[in-house]
Structure formats: structure tokens, C-alpha cells
Chain A
Amino acid sequence: MDGVLPYIECFALLASLYLLLGRGSRATRALGILGGLGSLAWIYVAAGESIIGGEGVGREVLFMIFGVIAVSAAVRMITHSRPVYSAIYFVFVVLSSAGLFLLLEAEFMAFALVIVYAGAVLITYMFVLMLAQQASSPDNITEAPEYDRVAREPAAAVTVGFIFLTAVFGAIYQGVDRLPPPAGEIEKNIARAEVLESLTKQLRSSIEEVEPSFQWPPEADGNQNIVFADDEGIYVIGKTDAGDHQTVRLGTSAGPRNTQFVGWDLVGRFPASLELAGVILLLAMFGAVILARRQIEHGEDDLRAAVGMTRLFDYEEDDSSDEEGSSA
């Protein structure tokens, strides 16, 4: 990979972003859009060197579609003068990244993203926007306020973005040569077998479907793995009713699904993090409740009365507080 090329790509991309950020003429914006798309294509071509070819052509196309939608929606999100539209464009970003997740065989995450982000979080944003949004002036309610229309120092922001993006690109291009090889079929099969072995209920029902005479639990002969897998399917070693050792072959569909993989990883490898995530959510809820509640000044007596307590001592009334109250 040529050393300077990625930086020029970045520059082109961010220059078009700059054009889009500035409130220029229609032509400038068109130039920005074209430049942006062009530089995206350039990046894609430079990274992949070919668009067409191989078995994964359909995937490539889908990736391009989702990627372009995501980036365009993101750019539109940061350039749109109305926050509500920004939020809606963000929904597009979320949806297209959900599509990318599907391409990455992360079905569970894709739907979780749609539900949590597009469904819950964005709706919250919408609510707050509706609550807090205001027109720039009472007589012109259609126009967005000035601070939403004019970007703040886009040049500085784009410069920082350029530095950051070149850093990321540089890292990716340099690091890719030193990446360990991708997981091969062997590793995948081992992972599938291990997870399936843990999912005893699913394993048992799958076996019973295929071989009713299989004696549960499966039993290995010697120190073999009980469950192992290859491209064809998954194999389980056990005994028949007759007492003979046998290997049952299950179809690939009997293997664990994406959600099962994720779930197993989540509770098997990161239980403490899972607990912590719960605590974070709880505290966030407390925080939000405490921050957003309207401050109502309760007297001490009210508070006592609220918890069913009576006064312990009758202090003399403090005159100063009365004065303060009257002066206020």
C-alpha cells in the first residue's frame, strides 16, 4: 500500500465534508456530495483493489449499499440544521449498521441495535428534542435557530477529523499486514463443538431426532472429545442401547446459533462485566431520576411527616430565617 495515498483519500473525504458543513451555495454542496461519494469509492477501491470477483459478490454489493447509506446519513445528520432531522438520519445510520451486522453474521446484535437504538434511545432523544426545541423567534417558527444553522469553526473540526482519520487509516493499513490470519475452519469447528457441548438440552434433542437409541449422556471412548465438528456437520460420541460405541452425525443446523454464541460468551466469559453493566444501568436510572426531577422545597417538618416521624425537640424558631423569607 502506498504510503501517501490513504492520507490523500482522507483529505479528499474531509474536504468534501467541509464543503457540506459550510452553508455555501447549491453548487458547493453538490460538489461536496460528489466529492464525498467519489472519495468513498476511491477508498473502497484502493482498499479492496477490485469490486467484483470471488464468491462474495452479493455481500460486497450489500456492504457498499449499507456503507454508503451509513456514511451519507451520518454526514447529513451532522449537517442538517434541524435536530429532529438529525435524529431521524441517525436512525438511518443505525439501520444501515444493523444491516452491516447482518452481513457480519451478527444477527442478534443487528436486531438488538434496531430495538435498543432506533427504538428506545432515539425515541428518548426525540422526546427531549420536542421538549426543548424552540424556534429562533416567535414570528418565524419555521426557521431553525442560528446556533443550529451555522456550524462552529468547521475548519478546526475538519482538521482534527483529518488528523484522526489519517491516524486511523495509517494504523489500519500498517497493521493489516501484521494481523494474525483469520480464524480457519478448524478453529470455528472447535468453537462450535465446545458451545454445543455446553448446550446440553439442545444437543440431546438434536441427537434424539437423529438417533433415538442413543444413550444419554454421551460417553467418550478414551480421551477423545465427546463432541467435534467439521464442515459436514457435528459428531457426538456415545453408546447405543446395545452398549456399542457409536458416533452420531448431526446436521450443521444442529450447531449453536449466533445468539447462543453471544449468550454463552456473555455469561461464560464476562459474568462480572455483565453485573457491572447492570449496575451502570441502575445508577444511570437513579441519576436521571434525581437530575430531572423538579426541585420542590420541602420543609423539614414535611419530610418528617412524610416518613411518619414527629419532632424530637421543640427548638425555638430561628428569627433570621423568617427575616430571610420576608425579604425574599
Chain B
Amino acid sequence: MMLAVAFGQLALVHYLLLSGVLFTVGLVGFLCRRNLIVMFLCTELMFQAAGIAFVAAGRYYFDFSGQVFVIFILTVAAAEAALALALVVLLYRRRPSLNAEDWRDLRE
């Protein structure tokens, strides 16, 4: 155990900033990529960022609920991936395109 190593505010701020940057990158990717699958990948990236923030905060408080939350995030991400990919497959079967803009008619 490396309990002696202090995990102070400074360290937490670093992790949180990194998490924010990652999240923003994911967000920007989600907004500007057109490929449906890449868009889902970007959401996964955002999940990652959130996970880092959770674990860092948990470490700061020595509270393991942060990590437990990451488990739930993993769960939700896996479920989301399964469903989203199933939907992509379904859409692809109808029209062989992964371009999100090709599915504008879904708004009706």
C-alpha cells in the first residue's frame, strides 16, 4: 500500500482538468463527426472522461463509491453500445450508409 503518498487538491485538479479536456474532445467529436459509429465512440470517450473524474474524486475522499460508479458507467456504456450497435445494424440493413445525415427522414 502506498498510503503515504498524499493526494492533495492539486492532484485532484489535474485529474479533473484532464477529464474535462477529454470530455470536451468527445463532445466536439460527437458534434462534428458524421459517422454514426464514430459518434457512438465519442460518447464512450465522454464516459471515460466521467469515469476518470469519478475515480479521482473518490481517491481524494478515500471513498470507493467513485469506483463503484465507474462500474455502473461501464454497465451503462456496455448496454448503450449493444443497443446502439444493434440500431446501427438495423439502419444499415435498410440503407447501406453510416452517414447520420442520410437519416434525416427519421424525424417524421
Contacts and interface: CB of A to CB of B under 8 A. Distances in A.
A294 to B, nearest CB: 8
A168 interface: yes
A47 B14 contact: yes
Interface stretch (A215-223, A258-266, A300-308): A258-266
B13 A47 contact: yes
A187 interface: yes
Given A104-B55, A165-B24, A277 B71 contact: yes
B76 to A, nearest CB: 7
B37 A262 contact: no
Contact of A104 (B44, B59, B90): B59
Nearest to B91: A132
Nearest to A184: B62
A280 interface: yes
Contacts of A247: none
Given A104-B56, A148-B34, A182-B8, A116 B86 contact: no
A14 B9 contact: no
A113 B74 contact: yes
A160 to B, nearest CB: 6
Contacts of B93: 294
A289 B6 CA distance: 48
Contacts of A280: 75-76, 79
Interface in A256-296: 258, 261-262, 264-266, 269-270, 273, 277, 280-281, 283-285, 287-289, 291-292, 294
Interface in B76-102: 76-83, 85-90, 92-93, 96-99, 101
B62 A288 contact: no
Contact of A125 (B27, B40, B90, B101): B40
Which of B27, B28, B60, B88 has the most C-beta atoms of chain A within 10 angstroms of its own C-beta? B28
A288 B68 contact: no
A86 B64 CA distance: 32
Interface in B21-59: 21-29, 31-35, 37-38, 40-42, 44-45, 48, 51-52, 55-56, 58-59
A71 B25 contact: yes
Interface of A: 13-14, 17, 21, 40, 43-44, 47-48, 55-56, 59, 63, 67, 70-71, 74-75, 77-78, 83, 86-87, 90, 93-94, 97, 100-101, 104-106, 108-109, 112-113, 116-117, 120-121, 124-125, 128-129, 131-134, 145, 147-148, 150-154, 156-158, 160-161, 164-165, 168-169, 172-173, 176, 179-180, 182-183, 185, 187-188, 191, 231, 252-253, 255, 258, 261-262, 264-266, 269-270, 273, 277, 280-281, 283-285, 287-289, 291-292, 294
24 contacts: A63-B11, A63-B14, A75-B25, A77-B38, A78-B33, A83-B38, A97-B52, A104-B59, A106-B55, A106-B70, A125-B40, A148-B35, A151-B33, A154-B32, A157-B28, A160-B28, A161-B25, A165-B20, A168-B23, A169-B20, A172-B16, A261-B64, A273-B72, A292-B90
Can you list the 4 inter-chain pairs with the closest CB atoms, starting with the nearest? A78-B29, A284-B79, A157-B31, A183-B62
